Amino acid sequence: MKFKEIIKRLTGISTPVFGVSWNPTSTERDIAKDVVTYLEDRRVLYVPSEMEQPHHCVMSILEIRKYLTDAISKLEQDSELAKSLRALRAACRKFLELTDSRNGDIVRYGAHSGHWASWQFNGALGELRGVFGIHIAKIAAAYGLNVENDLSLILPREDVE
């Protein structure tokens, strides 16, 4: 998805995009670009949940959390990018907490349609994707980045009214 299309979907961003009063540093922009590129290849964020294996999702979320921690360590702690990456990392932790209850039943039985664990797993995955969509859109808008079509599926929809 092109940068200009992402901008149309966002409302309420207080930072102007490439405005006179704010320009992202090249280091921040490079890190933002690397993060978005990394997340574009994480199918747990956009593949229909019925195609996912809960154990693989958990492993992928663990890898994403580690990657985000590494990226945060390269940033000024009060930067907007660091704040968004911390929010993504917190969403990863919440997903892991929600899917780690009841002796691992959610991971073990989450792929079985109709089983209570599938409801818990799909709810946690949906919540994670929602948080990621908002922050990826915010990052892409702030740093002028395009987002691949697969990952753009989780970005907020354009308000047509």
Tokens 């000024």 belong to 76
CA–CA distance, 132 with 104 (Å, rounded to integer) = 24
Query: How does pLDDT run across 34-91, given as a tens digit for each residue?
Result: 999 999 999 999 998 767 788 888 899 999 999 999 999 999 999 999 999 999 999 9
> pLDDT tier at 21 (50, 70, 90 boundaries)?
very low
Count of beta carbons in the 10 Å neighbourhood of residue 94: 14
User: Within 13 A of 44's CA, how many CA atoms are on the CB side?
Assistant: 25
Count of beta carbons in the 10 Å neighbourhood of residue 71: 19
Contact 51, 27 (CB under 8 A): no
Q: Of the candidates 26, 39, 110, which has an alpha carbon nearest to the alpha carbon of residue 68?
A: 39
